[in-house]
Structures are given as C-alpha cells and as structure tokens.
Structure 1
Amino acid sequence: MNKSSQSIFAGTAADPSQFPREGLPEVAFAGRSNVGKSSLINALLNRRSLARTSKTPGKTRAIQFFRVNDDLLFADLPGYGFARVARTLREDWGPLIEEYLTERDRLKLLILLLDIRRDVTPDDLALLEWLALKGVPALVVLTKIDTLSRTQQTARERIIRSALGQAGESLLMVSARTGAGKNNLWGAIRRRVL
C-alpha cells in the first residue's frame, strides 16, 4: 500500500457534481487549518508534494482527491476553524463538506487530525459528535509529534485522550516529517477500509 508510483492526484471538487465517480472506497482527512492534512497525505503516499501544502491557513477551499494504487481514494478536506478566513467562505464550505460526509456512500473512514501541541477545541468535539450521530466512522490522529519529546508526547496524549472521551480510545500519533507512526496509521486504514 505504500507504493508512491501508483498514487496520483484525482481531482478537485468545489461542488458535489465534481466528486469522483470511480467507485473506490474513500478515506477523508479533516482537521483545523494547518494541522498537517496535506503533509500527512504526502507522507503516507511517499510523495513530496502530491497534496499541496500551504503556510497560509484556510488556503484549501475545495476537497482534493488522490487515487491510491487503484485501491482507494484519499480526500483532503478544507481546514476548519481559522478566524481570518472570511465568514462567508467558512459558511460556503459547510454545505459541501456536510454533503460529502453524509451522502458519500464510498466514504469508509474519516481521519480527524489534531496537532498534539494544541488543546482539543469545541469545533473538534462538535465534529466528532456530529460524525457519530451521522454514523460516519472516525479515527483521531495526533500530528506533529516530532515537535515534542517522548515525555511531552505522553503527557499531551493523556490530556487529549481525556478531553476526547470515548473518541480518544483508538487514538494514533504520527509525524509527517519523520514518518513515525505512519505504518500504524496504514494498518488502521487497511483494517477499517480494505
């Protein structure tokens, strides 16, 4: 599953009519702006810049799709919760994302990325609660673990698990920069999707 040569950009959807029609199972990546969604997708696919990254929070305004070895699609969802993004733009994203998450029968897993250095926000908890109500399977993954010592990672993991409650039971930790935890995440994707 880690063969990057078979991973390609499959398209952008700014509206539901542009969603891929391939019929492959899909894994969506969600989280706050600049949590590392695109960087993690690149790391999982062993590609440097397949998913475009940006230093400007809120830059991605559509869903980006990536075909993985003709086995599945990754969906890079726009980040949420960045205050400087115009309110009307944030509101425009809502219907697109809601339709994708509720109407997309090919969506098999949503991976919610949280920056290990940041506290869980009401937006994070609301998304997890909403996903549970809609029956969308979710997995929480802590990113940017390479920025903390092991002792700090353990302390932050404990705090975040506590804040997440039941949603934090199957929590994973990864670093897009070093690749730490990447194989564990691939294992979770395989078990839940393929």
Structure 2
Amino acid sequence: MVLRPLIGSNTRFCLVRVLKDGVAFDPALTKILGDMDPWLLPLKPPEDHDCHRKIVNDSYYKDAVEYMRLTMQSPRYVSLAALHPLVQLLLIGGLVDEAMKVVEEMWNKVHDIKPFRIKAAMMEKFHHNNDLLAKCYEDILKIDPSCVTTLKKLIAMSKEVGYSRESLIEMIALHVEASFPEPLIWKEFAEVLILFFENVSMLQRIWRRRESANILC
C-alpha cells in the first residue's frame, strides 16, 4: 500500500491510499461523503478500506457504473433520470471529479432543477467557492423560487461572507411572489430592505454634501 497525489482533483483532499489492486481509498473523503445530505447520498460509504475495495471491485458495481455512463448518452429525459444514481455510484467509488463533470455536463444541457441542486450540494463539500456557490443558489431559486432551504442558505451567506444585499432582496422577492413565506423570511426581508434604504439614504446625503462643496468652490 502506498500514498500518491489525487491526480486531476480540485478537491481539498491531498493524498489517497492506493491498495494493491489500484483502488483509491481516501479516509477523509469517506468521512465527507458520510456527512452529505441524505437526499443526495443516503448510503454511507464504508470506512474500512478492505470493505470499500470489495464494493468497487464487485462486478455488480462495475456493471452499474458502466450502464449508467451509457445511459447519459440517451435522450435528455432518460439521461436526466439517470443522473442522480450515477452520481451516487461515482461518489461511493471515490470518483468525485467525474461525478462533478457529469453534473456540469447535464447542467449545461438541460434547464431542470435536479442538476442545479446536485451541483450545489457537491460544491458545498468539494469546491467551496462563495461566489460560484451563491450563483448556483440563485440559479436554483430562479427555477424553483419556492425553495426556502436554498433561500436560507443565501441569507446565511449574506451575514457570514457578505453576499450582496441587492441580490438577496431580488431572491427573497422571487420567493415571496411564488410561495407563502415563513415569518422568518418576512423578518429577513424587512431587515435587508431597511439596511438597503438606509445605505441609499446615506449615499444620497454624502452626494449632496459633495455637490454643495463643489458649488462653494
């Protein structure tokens, strides 16, 4: 058993354990996968590398991955249905980069909520970039503005990483128009509007002072 770099990966995992038959096993990756949203990956990968090796070398697993890969070449409505199970199989096998590539290809091909949600869930764990993640959440809300879970993630980002208030107002407005918002959403909407208009008012006062100073000069 040796250690080698995880080639071709943009994830935060640096080293993997390579077993004698060439199967890659990363304990850190296994832990992350075990903590993923159950709707995306309901099964927790085994933490024992021998058990993991048996799963990914099993003929049923290999056939399932191969057939699902072939299904992605089918018409859109068929490949879209196969996307989620293929991603699950690839993640269990530790093929994170291939799973993300499959999702992005589908994301570019169809305007459907499924690839957007899967992409966001994977980015949260493997490619965490606040700007790209916020854009992904926005895309989800533009397709399904009633998704309060996604909206709450944007609200959290506005407080933690400085997500734009103007963009948040737009996203909350979409949600309000499409659903019956929770009291918490109305509260956040009111607070962000107050802050926004206070800033606008302050900028207007500053602008007027500058104009007055220029006139006096």
Rg larger in structure:
2
Structure of higher RCO (CA pairs closer than 8 Å, 6+ residues apart): 1
More strand by share: 1
More helix by share: 2
